[in-house]
Structure 1
Amino acid sequence: MRELPPALVSGPFTRSQARAQGVTDRMLQGQRFVRVLPGVWASRDLTLTWEHRVAAARLALPRSAHPTGLTRIQMLGLDEGPRLPLHFVVQGDLHLALPGVFLHRTKKLAPLDEHGVGVAGAFISFCARARVVDAIRVGDWLLAAGHLTRGQLIELALHEPWRDGAHEAIWLCEHLDPRSRSLPESELRAVLGFAGLPAPEVNPMLVLDGVTVSPDLLYREHRLIVEYQGAQHQVDRSIYVADLDRLELLRAHGFGCLEVPKERLAHARTLVGRVHRELNARGYAGRPPYLDDRWQRLFARLSHQVGSRRDRAGAA
């Protein structure tokens, strides 16, 4: 049995590409190949990655279809959200059903780049269906990584307000912060902010005894620090020891330090109460947090915050 051509081993391919490599239609039906999508095959020995599936979708869809939404953002390196279905968009009224692919249709494509829909357009598309907390996590990540600016987002949303997600993206902008350093840190800030607690400083620089430290969230007036502790802080001993040293230095200078592992962040209501009690113990006299419908909006779809298109059209 002859070896397969390298071009047919490294990734998905079309029937015409197979023929160009000397593989007949009959051979494609054999045991050495598997159909990935209609008109697209791969070597049975190939372990299909998410990147392979994106490449297969590109081959199965017309060239006028482009990655958008969460898929386009994940292509930038975001490790967040479901990997399937893949999100593509096409201009016009093309109806094409592919397993594992959601093909959006639009009357006008958002600006494109060499990889698909541009980042601003892709994020606007994501906002159309995302929960508020997820949009904040992803939006912060895009801003912090330099993939997007508020100005770019607002410019496109205001220029094409009819676009799905445009109003949602504008509403969201005031809740984004490019200083956030991780997805859970963004969620932590949002959980506390939507509960009505005072806004903390995000990753400020403090110089203590000649040492510069940058806590996640700082309530400077009440000298309280809230730190998200990811799994790497416990697994990597060097990070763990550095955390101990940093927290010891902060406490020596009178700061209270509340550590938040992922298990506490998963119980957001209890976490809010804990932070509120710590603030009270340090002289906070503001109103207690509200954990009613206003706070619950954080976990609802972003589109619920701006109302339906029909409602907005009626108001206009």
Structure 2
Amino acid sequence: MGEVRLTTARRERERGRRNRVRSLRRLVRGVYLEKDDEPTLLERCAAAVLAAPPDTVVVGVTALWLHGVEVADPLPVRLATATDLRRRTPGLRLVRRHLLPLARNRVALPVPAWVEACTELSIVDAVAVADRLIKLGRATRKELVEAAAAATGRGCRTARRAAELARPNVASVRESELRLMLIMAGLPEPRCNVAVGDEQRRIAEVDLYYDEFRVVVEYEGEQHRTDGWQWSADIERYEALAAAGYAVIRVTAARLRQARALVTTIHDHLTERGYRGRPPRFGTEWRSLFEA
């Protein structure tokens, strides 16, 4: 799990330093940190594993953070064990599993960590994590689909649905959210991070693209506003896209929060360019995910 500076009360007793634990930071029962700094997530996980049964594995949302995918809150530390549980430890969420997930250094591998996390994630977050794992090269869509199909119990339906909705080439969580906002309202699915242009030149790579209607949807994070060079490059890029006949819809975090109006605007652009599908539908699930 990596190098961390932990000690246990038992170890200190064996070294004849019973009173030293009073000057250390306690992480969980019987496990202490040998420095005064705020413990890292890795140190909290290592302490949790020391305090738990010997077969314990870090799983779910916590394991995803250790793999570089930050979703929800990694605390309390999520753990799984095949050992009978006899007591609860504050700060840990320990569950019993007859079959433990594949792990390396006591941390579940990315795909089984994602499957476990689906027990507590919304469908939007589950898809965003799946997209991110694919983008980072830590999973393939095929691996996610197969793992979800084999899953049973709580969260398996979310995992199966999320695996089917996962896509490669998604650059950010916001892009995942925006894509789901559109398709879950009944609009056609755009392609992700597509290079557009003609035979003579490549104009730009865009976040979401409707080929048939030449409609581009771009999510702009804060760096697009605060970085002067980026702002200037964006202006040139959007001018080139407009000159080539593309409709460009620019989406900010504030606009993303006005989900219904945003989806309606994108539908209107599609309709102006020949889309004849049904108008967007804002059902109960859509409202709970994007308007709550």
Which of 182, 187, 190 aligns to 1:197? It is 187
Residue by residue, what CA displacement relative to the aligned partner does 1:257-301 show, whole Å, maximum 9, x if unpaired?
11111111122222111211222233322211000125346569x
SS of residue in 1 equivalent to 2:194:
coil
Query: Does the Cα contact within 8 Å between 1:132 and 1:299 map onto a contact in 2?
Result: no
| Contact in 2 for aligned 1:12/1:36 (Cα 8 Å) | no
Q: Does 1:13 align with 2:13?
A: no
SS in 2 for 1:205: strand
Aligned equivalents of 1:129 and 1:267: distance in 2? 25
Q: Decide whether the 8 Å contact of 2:28 with 2:48 is kept in 1.
A: yes
Equivalent position to 1:220, from 199, 203, 211: 211
Give the Cα–Cα distance (whole angstroms) in 2 for the partners of residues 123 and 148 of structure 1.
10
> Which of the pair has the greater relative contact order for Cα pairs under 8 Å at 6+ separation?
1
**Structure 2 partner of 1:308:** none
- Structure 2 counterpart of 1:13, which letter? T
For 2:59 and 2:213, locate their aligned partners in 1 and report how far apart those are by CA, in whole Å: 43
State the alpha-carbon separation in 2 of the partners of residues 86 and 128 from structure 1: 15
Check whether the contact 2:56–2:106 (CA below 8 A) recurs between aligned residues.
Answer: no
How far is the alpha carbon of 1:251 from its aligned partner? 1.1
Of residues 95-104 and 119-128 in structure 1, the stretch that sits farther from structure 2 once superposed is 95-104
Amino acid at match of 2:206: P
SS of match in other structure, 1:180: coil
Task: Work out whether 1:242 is the aligned partner of 2:236.
Answer: no
Q: 1:176 aligns with which of 166, 180, 185?
A: 166
CA deviation vs aligned residue, 1:149-183 (integer Å, no higher than 9, x gap):
23223333444x43543343223222111121111
Counterpart Cα distance in 1 of 2:13 and 2:262? 60
Residues 1:41 and 1:131: Cα distance change in structure 2 (over 3 Å): same
Amino acid at match of 2:77: L
Name 1:25's counterpart in structure 2.
Answer: 18
Alignment of 1:286-305 (within 5 A): 286-296=277-287, 298=289
Gaps of 5+ in 2: none
Is it true that 1:65 corresponds to 2:59 in the alignment?
A: no
SS in 2 for 1:162: coil
| Deviation for aligned residue 1:100 | 2.3
Q: Partner residue of 1:309?
A: none
Alpha-carbon offset, residue 61 of structure 1: 1.7
- Percent of matched pairs sharing the same residue: 33
CA contact (8 A) 2:203 2:241 kept: no
Alignment partners' CA distance in 1, 2:191 and 2:20 = 63
One-letter amino acid of the counterpart of residue 117, structure 1: A
Q: Would you say 1:142 and 2:133 are equivalent positions?
A: yes
- Partner AA of 1:35 in structure 2: R
- Give the structure-1-normalised TM-score: 0.83
AA of the residue aligned to 1:202 = C
Q: 1:225 to 1:23 in 2, by over 3 A?
A: farther
- Once residues 71 and 226 of structure 2 are traced to their aligned partners in structure 1, the CA distance between those partners, rounded to angstroms, is 21
